[in-house]
Every structure is written in C-alpha cells, then in structure tokens.
A = this chain, B = another copy of it.
Amino acid sequence: MPVSAAPPRKRRKEARPSELTAAALELFVEKGFAATRLEDIAVRAGVSKGTLYLYFDSKEALFKAVIQEGLVPALAEAESLAAGHAGSAFELLQALIEGWWRLVGETRYSGIPKLMIAESRNFPEVAQFYYENVVQRGRALFAAALQRGMDSGEFRRRDVATCIDVIIAPVLMLIVWRHSLAHCLLVQQEPRTYLAMHLDLLRQGLLGDATGSP
C-alpha cells in the first residue's frame, strides 16, 4: 500500500457516480442498452460489478441517470449564450449551431441523441424527460432566433415550428451518423465543412432575394 499518492478515498467517492455514468454512456452508445453488460461498464469504470449497485438501483436506473445528466448542462450554457447574443438573427442561428457542435458534438455527450433514437421506445419515461428537458428547450432557442429574424424582416416569413426541425435535422444527423455507420466504416467527413455548407444553404434559404419577398 502506497504511503502517499493516489487521490484520497473521499474525492473518489464523490466522483464515482459520474465516472460510472461516463463509462455507461460510452458502452450504451456503442452497443445499445440491452447488449451492454453491467460487468463491462464496471470494468471500464475500474470498479467491481457490485459497486454499480451502491450508486444505482438497477441497470435501468443507470440508464436514466446517463440521460439525465447528459445534455442539460450543455443546454443551460447554450441558453445563456443565446441570451447574451447581440448580432443579427442569422448570426445567432450560426452561433447556436456552432455552439452546439462545440458543446455537444465534440464531447462524449454527442452519443446521447443516438442513444435516444435507439432506445426511446423501450423507455417512454426517459423519452418524455428527454423531450421536455432537451428537445423542447433546444427547439425554443432556435424558435426565438427564427422568430426574431422574421419579425425584423431579416428572414422570409415561414411557419417557425416546422422550420426549426428542418434546420436542426442536419446538425442532429451529423452527430448520429458519426456514432453509427460512419464509425464502423471510417467514412468520416469533416464536420466543420458539413456545418458550413448547412449554414451556407440556410442563409440563402432563409434570407430570400434582395427584395425580401416572397
């Protein structure tokens, strides 16, 4: 037993739950919920199987925790980013998309959307939580930007609710793609280029021609 070194047990104890959910997230995203064994999660987190049950009541509870601690903090950050934004509506849209990529797309949390796509029908309660706390809040950010642009005449006037989903889809799809087919086929493309193309089409699509019509 080493006399010094090694973080004291106290610190570990507090950090444990998030180490466990981090390991669980990785494996759930990789293999899916049902195909992931608790033992594998324990091994990846460097603990024993039984330890998982000190922090979570069941495999399903662990899954819920993974989702619940996943994207909410990122959303809060995005919300404050949007609140303090000063530029044009399109610049806000751009900031939202790029911010989302930085805060989610490039982190381990990017796996959560794929996970929810794969598992929501098996866990309706979790899906409900995710919808209310992530999807709705995320859509609201985009809705506000779009509404502002339309009200000011910067954007053509369209149905906002429908517009949001069309705009978000390429961003979501990029993430999902990188966690599914692209991952095992190694056909990665450059995300920044892809997002730039999306914004390029979007600018033209939303702004319309010089006269602002139709």
- Nearest first, the 10 closest Cβ-Cβ pairs linking A and B are A205-B205, A201-B205, A118-B118, A169-B173, A34-B34, A169-B170, A34-B35, A117-B180, A124-B184, A204-B205
Partner of A197 from the list B166, B180, B181, B200 (CB cut-off 8 Å) is: B166
Partner of A158 from the list B116, B179, B189, B200 (CB cut-off 8 Å) is: B200
Partner of A128 from the list B128, B185, B209 (CB cut-off 8 Å) is: B185
Partner of A122 from the list B31, B122, B131, B185 (CB cut-off 8 Å) is: B31
The digit string for A16-48, where 1 denotes a CB below 8 A from any CB of B, is 000000000000001111110000000000000
**Number of A interface residues in the complex (CB < 8 A):** 60
**Of all chain B residues, which has the CB nearest A203?**
B205
How many copies altogether?
4
- Beyond A193-B162, A197-B158, whether A184 also contacts B121 by CB under 8 A is yes
- Beyond A185-B131, A194-B162, whether A116 also contacts B208 by CB under 8 A is no
A185 CB to closest chain B CB (Å) equals 5
Partner of A187 from the list B131, B169, B180, B198 (CB cut-off 8 Å) is: B131
Task: List B contacts of A197 (CB < 8 A).
Answer: 158-159, 162-163, 166
The reply to whether A180 and B34 contact each other, CB–CB distance below 8 Å, is no
Partner of A34 from the list B32, B181, B200 (CB cut-off 8 Å) is: B32
